[in-house]
């Protein structure tokens, strides 16, 4: 069963979210940046055991555009997540974040550690703690796909993104690298939650953001909530080696690497993903 809801955040901006499934709430932050939570789907069937609270960031999906574009910054979005927690009436919450959403989740955990019961970071962006994959790791992962017919166009798109371009065109061209198989299911998923309207949120996410990795590391080292760092062994943008490097920065972290998965592991093998996340949550 799915329903829609919303609330006014700290500055009055209307923030929307979908509720999917039954059980204890699991608040879910999408990545992109600037991608609506629609692409998370039911996270491989996780909605059968948990109530998924699928939050759309301001300026994205069902959420309104803010009056102040500076509030698109990831460090400012922390207060939207806190406003959501208060709105939901949760003293402690289980929080799942994907990709760029994990940068926001880590900044939230650093600011509000007392309100987290569990933290799940799926193929996570690690800019908040100053960890990134190496050029060698990226090229090795890309080389695994060199025989694919889509490889030249996808590589050109990814190179544009790595150079700092945030266009939808570059985003779409690079998509085959993000899936274990570039089949019909992957093609359909690649367009979910993506809109030209989201461009301001996409570009504003890191623009001028105040990210202090040493300070975040110090705060996260004191986080008592269990943390799951979840990687795909074929993910070129968040290699498992980088995820393992980040694990010791947390007080209580577990690393899981899903075999045969890339950046969207719940799409590549839904059952394996839902089983692993459910095991951690239980």
Q: For 114-160, what is the HEC assignment?
A: HHEEEEEEECCCCHHHCCCCCHHHHHHHHHCCCCCCCHHHHHHHHHH
Instruction: Name the CA radius of gyration of the chain, rounded.
Output: 17
User: Quick check: 271 and 45 in contact, CB under 8 A?
Assistant: yes
How far apart (Å, rounded) are the C-alpha atoms in residues 227 and 210?
24
Nearest CA among 145, 109, 146, 144 for reference residue 124: 109
- Residue 220 pLDDT > 80: yes
Q: Residue 26: enclosing H or E segment and its boundaries?
A: strand 25-29
User: Average per-residue pLDDT in the chain?
Assistant: 96
Q: Over the stretch 36-50, which tens digit does the pLDDT of each residue have? A: 999 999 999 999 999
- Residue where the block lists tokens 């992109």: 32
Positive or negative torsion for Cα 1, 15, 26, 243? positive
pTM over 0.75: yes
According to DSSP, residue 38 is labeled G
214 pLDDT tier (thresholds 50, 70, 90): very high
How far apart (Å, rounded) are the C-alpha atoms in residues 235 and 214?
26
The encoded tokens of residue 178 equal 């993000």
Coil, strand or helix: which one is 30? coil
According to DSSP, residue 198 is labeled G
- Residue 1 pLDDT > 80: no
CATH topology for 2-134+197-281? Answer: Rossmann fold (3.40.50)
Q: Over the stretch 149-202, which tens digit does the pLDDT of each residue have? A: 999 999 999 999 889 888 889 989 999 999 999 999 999 999 999 999 999 999
Coil, strand or helix: which one is 244? helix
The encoded tokens of residue 160 equal 């544009």
Say which range, 163-167, 221-225, 265-269, has the weakest mean pLDDT.
163-167
According to DSSP, residue 8 is labeled E
User: Quick check: 178 and 264 in contact, CB under 8 A?
Assistant: yes
């Amino acid at each position: 069963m799915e329903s829609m809801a919303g609330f006014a955040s700290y500055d009055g901006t209307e923030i929307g979210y979908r509720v999917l499934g039954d059980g204890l709430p699991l608040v879910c932050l999408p990545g992109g940046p600037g991608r609506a939570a629609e692409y998370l789907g039911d996270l491989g069937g996780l909605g059968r055991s948990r109530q998924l609270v699928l939050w759309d960031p301001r300026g994205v999906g069902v959420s309104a555009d803010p009056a102040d574009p500076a509030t698109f910054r990831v460090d400012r979005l922390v207060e939207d997540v806190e406003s959501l927690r208060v709105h939901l009436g949760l003293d402690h919450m289980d929080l799942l974040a994907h990709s760029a959403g994990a940068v926001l989740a880590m900044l939230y955990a650093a600011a509000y550690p007392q309100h987290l019961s569990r933290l799940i970071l799926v193929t996570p962006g690690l800019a908040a703690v100053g960890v990134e994959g190496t050029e060698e790791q990226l090229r090795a992962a890309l080389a695994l796909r060199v025989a694919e017919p889509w490889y030249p166009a996808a590589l050109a798109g990814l190179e544009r993104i790595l150079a700092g371009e945030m266009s939808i065109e570059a985003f779409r061209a690079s998509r085959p690298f993000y899936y274990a198989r570039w089949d019909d299911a992957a093609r359909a998923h690649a367009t979910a939650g993506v809109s030209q309207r989201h461009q301001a949120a996409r570009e504003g996410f890191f623009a001028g953001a105040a990210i202090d990795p040493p300070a975040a590391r110090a705060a996260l080292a004191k986080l008592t909530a269990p943390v799951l760092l979840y990687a795909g062994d074929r993910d070129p943008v968040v290699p498992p080696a980088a995820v393992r490097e980040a694990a010791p920065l947390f007080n209580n972290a577990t690393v899981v690497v899903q075999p045969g998965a890339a950046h969207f592991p719940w799409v590549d093998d839904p059952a394996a993903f839902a089983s692993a996340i459910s095991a951690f949550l239980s």
